[in-house]
Structure 1
Amino acid sequence: MGTIKQGILGGFSGRVGTVVGGTWKSVHYMRALAINIKDARTDKQLCQRGRFSEVVNFLKIITPFIRIGYRNYEQGKSAYNAATSYLLKYAVTGCGEETALDFEKVRVSRGSLTPALDAAVAVENGKASFSWTDNSDTGDALATDQAMVLVYNKDRQEVVYNVAAGTRGDATAELTLPTGWDSEALAVYLGFCSEDGERVANSVCLKNDAVSTEPGGTDEGEDEGGGSMG
């Protein structure tokens, strides 16, 4: 119990509720009691930390892309934080050593602009060749919308991208890949943003390869072809 020595406005010693009072060199002080956390490393906490780390490791290498891709979903926070929240909620699976990104559900851009139609990608000869149907007469889509293309190498945890690879009206775009990427596990995305950068479309995952189990090898069930928007 605390003891008040000099009236209600004076200093005190001891504990009063969640505050501790004392005197040091004739100076009265108060401090809050330290919060006693019985278990700061519960399974739930460790799981959340692992999932957060998985998302951050992915986003930190595509931050410039995300600044455009999530600019319409900041909602009082940075585009990076908006992307982090989205991926944590919708695109992470498992806990501990089983934690992984579900690249099919990852969105590297997010917004209300009309998305790509009948999109596909082919990876060969050191290039990712994108194609789609020009749907610039649909919704708010315009022929001048910029194609945002991104290729993530799962084996190397590296990325290449272009936020203005072509226009919606072009119906095609190409992205040059680093040497050796043709035969490695890739996740490939296509999105659009308006010419003025104010409106952004949801990205679509066009390719999602399984990670190789051996150097130079591939898992069964690897997705070799392009995908289309669902």
Structure 2
Amino acid sequence: MAKLPNGVLGNFYGKVGNIVGYTHKGQQCIRQASRKTTKAPTEAQLAQRARFSLVGRFLKPINQFLNSLPKKSKNAQARSSTAMAQVQRAMVEDGETPRIDYPEVVLCEGYGGIFDAELTPCPGGFSFRYTIPRWTRLMIEGIHVLVYLPEYEDWVIEEARFDGEQVAGTVILEDFMGQTSAEVFAIGKYCRGTKVTNSVYSGSVLITASTNPE
């Protein structure tokens, strides 16, 4: 059912016949309603759906965080949308199964992003240390460390501030019993929170049990 908030000659929302009215970026738009089909999807269509689903699950836990970061420009798309496009470019085929090539992933486009990363495993997590060039120290005040856990399709986000030219910290998974891999990314935060850097892939680290089983 369509709604006519501006009368019969104004814009409408909803469906009338095979026409759909909607709003996009503040503009009134119409499109033809999609048609239902009984045809079985092709292998190419199934592969594309699998890729799209994988990227969606990868980004869903951090979409809100990404959208909270300052945009690169006033009219730029939401960061979650640009991340979706960037991660799709990092997809590779492993046989018939799509996977994400993590070193090629770009979570955030910004300004600069030169970090030397050092990741050291510890029980239940890992410690991190990032170093930036001296000339960028006066511009970048802190860093977001984003940790992806492929086995759980979830993320852990930590924030730390620079002390001189370095920033260090520890990521611990509380009461973690087992072993899993983690993919680590970093996004620098400029002073006064007006800009962020490009995201940087920092490496992969193996996380082991936080305590010894009795």
> Aligned residues: percent identity?
25
Structure 1 unaligned runs (5+)? 1-18, 20-31, 211-230
Partner of 2:80: 80
Does the 8 Å contact 1:51/1:95 carry over to 2? Answer: no
Q: 1:1-230 residue pairs with structure 2 within 5 A?
A: 39=39, 41-68=41-68, 71-72=71-72, 75-88=75-88, 90-94=89-93, 98-112=97-111, 114-138=112-136, 142=138, 144-162=140-158, 164-167=159-162, 169=164, 171-178=166-173, 179-180=175-176, 183-208=179-204
The total of aligned residue pairs comes to 175
Deviation at 1:135, TM superposition (A): 1.4
Give the number of the structure whose alpha-carbon radius of gyration is greater: 1
TM-score (norm 2): 0.67
The 3 A distance-change label for structure 1 pair 35 and 149 is: closer
The 3 A distance-change label for structure 1 pair 34 and 98 is: closer
Does the 8 Å contact 1:153/1:181 carry over to 2? Answer: no
Tell me how large the CA RMSD over aligned residues is: 3.3
The 3 A distance-change label for structure 1 pair 199 and 66 is: same
CA distance in 2, matches of 1:198, 1:158: 28
Task: Find the residue that maps to 1:152 and give its secondary structure.
Answer: strand
Deviation at 1:186, TM superposition (A): 0.8
Task: Find the residue that maps to 2:144 and give its secondary structure.
Answer: strand
TM-score (norm 1): 0.63
The 3 A distance-change label for structure 1 pair 55 and 181 is: farther
Name the aligned partner's letter for residue 57 of structure 2. N
- More strand by proportion, 1 or 2? 2
CA distance in 2, matches of 1:58, 1:119: 23
CA distance in 1, matches of 2:35, 2:205: 47
CA distance in 1, matches of 2:108, 2:64: 11
CA distance in 2, matches of 1:199, 1:33: 40
Deviation at 1:192, TM superposition (A): 0.3
CA distance in 2, matches of 1:143, 1:50: 41
Deviation at 1:103, TM superposition (A): 1.0
CA distance in 1, matches of 2:33, 2:171: 59
CA distance in 2, matches of 1:181, 1:207: 22
